[in-house]
Amino acid sequence: MNKNTMSRRLMRGGLGVAVALSAALTMSGCSILEDIASNGKTPVRDDQGSVVEGGKQDVFTIKVGDCVNVPNGDTVSDLKVIPCDTEHDAELYYEHEITQDDLGAVDIEDGYPGEDAVHEVAARACESRFTEYVGVDYETSALDYDWFYPTEDGWDAIDDRTIQCFLFDGESGKLTGALAGSGR
């Protein structure tokens, strides 16, 4: 199975707020205009790798620091990656590869360990890197985090073991500006 045809599942916590807001924007036509503007293009990056012109990108190839708009639905295969200085839903701040050590007694070779086990790993991994990326601890931050995680199909077919941790604003639902070292 081709990695590009697989998708990732969205944890339905805080980013669900962003998805709901994205749905509202879609109904108002804002997201439609955004999609027309990207015209299926891939993002354009500067010499430092920052996105300077938005476009759609495979969820498996986005980079830490990328700012994205999250589409509707439970699974994601492509994301709208946009410059961080424009309004967006979330920012990727960490990627974690699930290992045997993460799963403890559950054997990683026995197949998909189940969503509960994956969520436990994701929660630990994402919280552990929050302070380092944002510059303030999670308890005092105005930001929240959530994650994308492997589907069972992706786990079995392409050995997808990647947790992607995203920052978002649980109050307003939208962000503007990069969050690395922001102290928010």
Give, in order, the Cα–Cα distances in Å from 53 to each of 37, 49, 137. 10, 11, 31
| pLDDT at 71 (0 to 100) | 87
pTM beyond 0.85: no
Instruction: Tell whether 157 is covered by a domain.
Output: yes
Burial label, 117 (beta-carbon count in 10 A; 0-12, 13-18, 19+): middle
User: What range does the domain containing 122 cover?
Assistant: 3-168
Domain count for the chain: 1
| pLDDT at 1 (0 to 100) | 32
Instruction: Tell whether 174 is covered by a domain.
Output: no
Instruction: Tell whether 178 is covered by a domain.
Output: no
Q: Could you report the average pLDDT of every consecutive run of 10 residues in the chain (184 residues)?
A: 42 40 31 44 92 94 95 88 97 97 92 95 97 96 95 93 95 91 93
Q: Say how far apart CA 166 and CA 15 lie, in whole Å.
A: 8
| pLDDT at 22 (0 to 100) | 32
Beta bridge partners of 53: 44
Asked if residues 30 and 60 have their Cβ atoms less than 8 Å apart, the reply is no
Instruction: Tell whether 158 is covered by a domain.
Output: yes
| pLDDT at 94 (0 to 100) | 98
Instruction: Tell whether 96 is covered by a domain.
Output: yes
